[in-house]
Amino acid sequence: MAKHKGRGWHSRLLAAGLGVTALAAATSVWTAQAGPTGGQPEARPQERTVTKVAADIAHASDRGPRGVNITIDDGPDPVWTPQVLQLLKDSGVKATFCMVGTQAKAYPDLVKKVVADGHRLCDHTVSHDTAMDQKSEAYQSQQILDAERMIIEASGGVRPQYYRAPGGAFTPYSRQLAASRGMRPLGWNVDTKDFEHPGVDTMVDTVKSEISNGPTILFHDAGGERSETLEALRQVLPWLKEQGYSFGFPVR
């Protein structure tokens, strides 16, 4: 959610190549956050630190060519996220959690737990619309900026550092908007397709055969029953360590 005041924020959006329609949508959201007296919204310290990042889709790891990025999508979920967090903690692995705004708003304690455990946050839109690349810029703005606000509020002030479009439905506009808010667009190289329940062996084999394609691996902690995901992670994480990989975060 936009929190900058005055012309400076408007100019930055326009300079990033964002349209007037999107600017109006973002401004509307900003105005909705007005202070208790109805005046200007109160500045929050974490919001003053927004720095525009690159708008191209990131895949690389900050740990270099032998780095791996574990990314977990669609949560948080009250059943599966705590189990994923415990498994990651036991394994000594940090991950990036791509959160749906409505889920973050519903389970703020889980968002805070993700942060407390040293993981990073990623904006995965409000409603996970995989066809949002076919929608208007105003709609894309609402999906990205409202989710950003929900995640920041749920986390107690921690900003998402990445933006992942549902189903990879990025547009040049959505990438530029996310980047202007300090959220690097985030892709993936290895899709375990755990949402299709292909079986643990298939998921593990997918990681082993496709990790040479790039370091960012996609799992899910919500959107259905995730026992297969947990078991696949339980097997994949030690295997990656045995192969000499180290776990990091996507580049920004």
Under a CB-based contact definition with an 8 Å cutoff, are residues 192 and 203 in contact?
Answer: yes
pLDDT reported for residue 15: 36
Peptide bond into 76 cis (omega under 30): yes
Under a CB-based contact definition with an 8 Å cutoff, are residues 118 and 94 in contact?
Answer: yes
Q: Residue-wise pLDDT tens for the chain (252 aa)?
A: 223 223 232 333 333 344 434 433 343 333 333 333 333 333 343 445 788 999 999 999 999 999 999 999 999 999 999 999 999 999 999 999 999 999 999 999 999 999 999 999 999 999 999 999 999 999 999 999 999 999 999 999 999 999 999 999 999 999 999 999 999 999 999 999 999 999 999 999 999 999 999 999 999 999 999 999 999 999 999 999 999 999 999 999
What are the beta bridge partners of residue 61? 250
User: DSSP state, 160?
Assistant: P
Rg (CA), the chain: 18
Q: Where are the beta strands (DSSP E) in the chain?
A: 67-73, 96-99, 120-123, 162-163, 184-185, 190-191, 216-220, 246-248
Domain covering 51-248: architecture: Alpha-Beta Barrel (3.20)
What are the beta bridge partners of residue 96? 71, 120
Helices 20-31 and 6-15, packing angle to 10 deg: 150
pLDDT reported for residue 13: 34
pLDDT reported for residue 48: 53
Supply the residues annotated as catalytic.
73, 220
Q: Which amino acid is at 146?
A: D
The residue whose two tokens read 């059943």 is: 79
Q: How many residues make up the chain in this entry? A: 252
Q: Phi then psi for 136, rounded to 5 degrees?
A: -70, 160
pLDDT reported for residue 212: 96
